Amino acid sequence: MAEQTIHHQEPNYLEYQGKYKGLAGWLTTTDHKRIGLLYFYSMMTFFLSGVVMGLLMKYELIAPGEQIMGAQTYNGLFTLHGLTMIFLFVIPGVAAVYGNFFLPILIGAKDVAFPRLNLASWYLYIIGAIVVLISQFMGDGPPDTGWTFYAPYSLKTNTNVVAAVTGAFILGFSSILTGLNFIVTMHRMRAPGMGWMRMPLFCWTLYGTGWIQLLATPIIGITFLMVMAERLLGIGFFDPTIGGDPILYQHLFWIYSHPAVYIMILPAMGVITEIIPTFARKTIFGYTAIIISSMAIAFVGYFVWGHHMFTSGMSSTSRWVFSLLTFLVAIPSAIKVFNWTATMYKGSINIQPPFLWAIAFIFVFMIGGFSGLVVGSLATDIHVHDTAFVVAHFHYIVFGGTGFAFFGALHYWYPKMFAKMYNIRVANIGLLIFFIGFNLLYFPMFYLGLMGMPRRYYDYIPMFEPANLLSTIGSWIMAIGLTVILVNLSRARKMTGKAVDDPWDGKTLEWQIQSPPTVENFEEIPTVTTGPYDYK
Amino acid sequence: MSEEKTHVVSIKTHLLVLFTLIILTVITVLITSIELGPYNTAAALVIATAKALVVLLYFMHLRFDEPIYRIMFGLVIAIFVAVIIVTFFDYLYR
């Protein structure tokens, strides 16, 4: 892609000693790669605690009746599970970790546009996370509203809602600042020759995501302030007993929270778009179509929020309009899948763990997407609304989409980030176990939902037991797979010997520099002369 | 990518903008004493929009920047307006 391959003798970002050493060096760093890793380690901590909560909930559902927790504990647990996984893992997710680490490298820059703001974003993320966690242990107990904080219940419950929404409010600022930083970086810091139409597609998805973060997140911030004002001052925005409208809350909440799904999924799609051409040894099929579809997803995704509200009492006209718009967003999503498969067609495919993660992503994302059409249709949504079907659908999209891409990206870029290569065979076995466990865990929920099992209940009638048992066993298998994957990766860190700079024979700029990258990535800013996937 | 160009706004222009903002704030307060019914809110919103526009154009330099920034800002406002319309579509037909 660039004219020269760059090797130099400067210390790499892991060894570099600045003004401060050790932990203080990490906590005061403005290096985008170190900040990416700060996000990575904090996010993995939250993700694993969310996994433990999920396992506990699945164990509670192994059989009818109370197993290990009562209703109130279960309500608190699914709220915290949702808050942790949504606000602390999948929303910042791929963009904060891999966007921070690789965006400047992919466009031939030495850092992001505002390095200090970047570090401030991480601090805001940590402060927000601490406030969310504190909300669990102070006042009148953990919030029991679910992560959506629906009014009027969130206005009436005695649990600690104000602290939780304050935490989410702070997390929103972190997201806004990261989005702003990425947009400015792409506008101002691309290397010579790196025109917009030569940018790697992961960058394009970060660009679309940045705009959503910038435009949608303030709405949830204001909405949470309104919830606080309502609870503390009784103003009457959402409480119908004092003239408010609870459906207005749902509008405002989903105006952000549906585009937030695209904040999660767009960078994930970007990762898959990077992986597939590298392992198919072929230029990406339909570069421009993928850019347009990314932007179309970001744009149309803005106007589909009402499909979360089909049973809320919204007007009939709005319902069919939102249903129609929801079906429209399937078009750019499908374009991406067609482009990925067309890229693989007649490619010289090199089957490696990142490629297998990408294939697994497409498989589970398709199931999530098709089940989305069921909940996006007015008639069928009435039947499955608030059932286990919806839980299965969004786990296939959010975990199956973002989660699979997150781990796919980790396996793809791990040799670049740490200059170590993991055990390929163990990585493949881990993925296989994880994949089986994932499907066994979530697929029975489609059946349970269709049969009428409601979500958010700690107990159920005996007819739902066999599928719930299967789902719980699936959660254990998935946990085993996850353990294999993470142990394999952490063992690789301790291995002696260095991975080669370009183990996958990639063509984008990150593979042209040394592993791990130096502090400033490039000794001299490269001049870009070709497109990003030049496999001719 | 391109050469940085800095446009310096004169103190006279800054003072004029400040004076405009103060006048508009005074009008916002005074207009509440006139009974316009539902148009009171509309009037307040129009004045607030005018104030925001002045801040954006002069204090935030939108007027002196490259056209791309005005286009980007215009698109953001268009999306915001579309979101408001889609939301109130529900209220209109409920």
Which residues of chain B lie closer than 8 angstroms to A255, CB-CB?
83, 87
Query: What Rg value do the Cα atoms of chain B yield, rounded?
Result: 18
Judge whether A529 lies within some domain: no
Q: Which residues of B touch A303 (CB under 8 A)?
A: 82-83, 86
What pLDDT is recorded for position B5? 61
| H helix or E strand, kind and range, residue A293 | helix A287-300
CATH at residue A173? 1.20.210.10
The predicted structure's pLDDT at residue A146: 86
Q: How far is B40 from chain A (nearest CA, A)?
A: 20
Q: Is B86 at the interface with chain A, CB within 8 A?
A: yes
Distance CA B89, CA A318 (A): 7
Q: In chain B, count H helices and then E strands.
A: 3, 0
Are the Cβ atoms of B89 and A318 closer than 8 angstroms?
yes
Query: Which of A249, A256, A315, A528 has the highest number of chain B CBs within 10 A, making it the mutation to test binding with B?
Result: A315
Instruction: Determine the Cα–Cα distance for residues A136 and A141; give it in Å rounded to an integer.
Output: 6
- Kindly report, residue by residue over B4-29, the tens digit of the pLDDT: 566 788 899 999 999 999 999 999 99
Q: Are A90 and A264 in contact (CB under 8 A)?
A: yes
Query: What local confidence, expressed as pLDDT, does residue A138 receive?
Result: 81
Residue A2: strand, helix, or coil: strand
Q: What is the ipTM of this complex?
A: 0.79
Q: What angle do CA A61, A64, A65 make, to 5 degrees?
A: 100
**b/e A253-282 (16+ beta carbons within 10 angstroms → b):** bbbbbbbbbbbbbbbbbbbbbbbbbbbbeb
In a domain, A525, yes or no: no
> Between chains, do B90 and A190 touch, taking CB under 8 Å as contact?
no
**Alpha carbon distance A54, B40 (integer Å):** 52
What pTM, to 2 d.p., does this model score?
Answer: 0.92
Residues in B closer than 8 angstroms to A295, CB to CB, are: none
Q: Is residue A430 part of a domain?
A: yes
Q: Does any domain span residue A11?
A: no
Q: A401 with A361: CB under 8 angstroms?
A: yes
- The answer as to whether A12 is a domain residue is no
Give the pLDDT of residue A293. 93
Least CB–CB distance from A215: residue in B79, B91, B92: B79
Regions of chain A short of the pLDDT cut 70? 1-9
Rounded Cα gap, residues A267 and A90, in angstroms: 11
Contacts of A188 in chain B (CB under 8 A): 1
Contacts of B93 in chain A (CB under 8 A): 315-318
**Residue A376 at interface with chain B, using a CB cutoff of 8 Å:** no
pLDDT score, position A19: 84
Cβ distance A512 to A200 under 8 Å? Answer: no
A401 within a domain of the structure (yes/no): yes
Give dist(CA A313, CA B91) in Å, integer: 11
Confidence of residue B1 (pLDDT cuts 50, 70, 90): very low
Q: Hey, what are B60's tokens? A: 């935030």
Comparing CA positions, the residue from B58, B44, B69 lying closest to residue B13 is B58
pLDDT, position A266: 94
Q: Tell me if chain A has a CB within 8 Å of the CB of B37.
A: no
**Across B62-91, average pLDDT:** 90
Would you tell me which residues 289-308 of chain A have a C-beta closer than 8 angstroms to some C-beta of chain B? 299, 302-303, 306
Range of A189's domain? 22-512
Which of A187, A251, A316 faces B87 most closely, judged by CB atoms? A251
Q: Using one digit for the tens of pLDDT, what is the confidence trace for A213-247?
A: 999 999 999 999 999 999 999 999 999 999 999 99
First to last CA, chain A: 11
pLDDT digits (tens, 9 = 90+) for A287-313: 999 999 999 988 888 899 999 999 999
B80 touches chain A (CB under 8 A): yes
Residues near A7 by beta carbon (within 8 Å), at least 6 away in sequence? A513, A514
Say if residue B2's pLDDT is above 50: no
Which chain B residue lies closest to A310 (C-alpha atoms)? B90
Q: How many domains does chain A have?
A: 1
- Whether B77 and chain A come into contact, CB under 8 Å, resolves to no
Domain membership of residue A135 (yes or no) is: yes
Residue A520 lies inside a defined structural domain of this protein: no
